[in-house]
Amino acid sequence: QVQLVESGGGLVKPGGSLRLSCAASGFTFSDYYMSWIRQAPGKGLEWVSYISSSGSTIYYADSVKGRFTISRDNAKNSLYLQMNSLRAEDTAVFYCARLTHVRFDYWGQGTLVTVSS
Amino acid sequence: QSALTQPASVSGSPGQSITISCTGTSSDVGIYNYVSWYQLHPGKAPKLMIYDVSNRPSGVSIRFSGSKSGNTASLTISGLQAEDEADYYCNSYTTSSTPVFGTGTKVTVL
């Protein structure tokens, strides 16, 4: 069965960096687009970024453009999100999701990122 | 890209039907039949309930149905059950080649 497991969340100071990982299993990872989505405490879902199956096509939300970098390693069945220049408003649960023709058909349980001094 | 507009809350009694609206623009909901709906229970992974406006993934109850008219999509839950109490979000593909989520709706079963 499809499994997505996020890791790498934690407490970081404003201006700091963090790298999230998502380990995928149960499907041919290299065939699928993948995405990161976040939910700030008490707020709604916000799409963050997506990457094509080969990694050649990448999009970001305006709120993270220039600060976050999405990448993948198809040999390791892994998705990553490098987050730099973190702000308090980046505090959220970050979800990894498989993207199948514009729908997010499988999600992980999420990893919490807290940006605070 | 602004979030799609959903009612903050909708409630109903067990067995009743409820409908959640999702209003976008001619740059997202109105132009593409790529609206999907997600159910969020606290502490659990979000779950895809409807895709491409009205299609149900395997394993999703037939009590869940979707539709669209113009710039507004809708999710209907028929025969409301206690387990349906959750947050629901719509999502649409946009002309910017990016997805946008709705503001979210809390469904309460009375």
pLDDT of residue A94: 98
Q: Contacts by B62-66 with C-beta closer than 8 Å and gap 24+?
A: B64/B37, B66/B35, B66/B37
Shortest CA gap A108–chain B (Å): 6
pLDDT of residue A32: 98
Query: Is it the case that residue A47 has pLDDT exceeding 80?
Result: yes
Counting one residue from A and one from B, how many pairs have CB atoms under 8 Å apart?
Answer: 60
| pLDDT attached to residue B1 | 76
Are the beta carbons of A111 and A6 closer than 8 angstroms?
yes
Closest residue by Cα to residue B75 from B26, B39, B24: B39
pLDDT-flagged residues of chain B (< 70): none
Closest residue to B104, CB basis, from A45, A61, A109: A45
The distance from CA A36 to its chain's CA centroid, rounded to whole angstroms, is 3
The answer to whether residues A8 and A21 touch, using CB atoms and an 8 Å cutoff, is yes
- Determine the pLDDT at residue A114: 98
Secondary structure (H, E, C), B32-76:
CCCEEEEEECCCCCCEEEEECCCECCCCCCCCEEEEEECCEEEEE
Q: What is the pLDDT of residues A78-105, one digit of tens each?
A: 999 999 999 999 999 999 999 999 999 9
pLDDT per residue as tens digits for the range B78-105: 999 999 999 999 999 999 999 999 999 9
Q: How many CB atoms within 10 Å of residue B106?
A: 16
Q: Please choose, from the candidates A48, A56, A57, A55, the residue with its C-alpha nearest in 3D space to the C-alpha of residue A83.
A: A48
Average confidence (pLDDT) over A66-86? 98
From the list A35, A47, A50, the residue facing B100 with the nearest CB is A47
Residues 6+ apart with CB under 8 A from B83: none
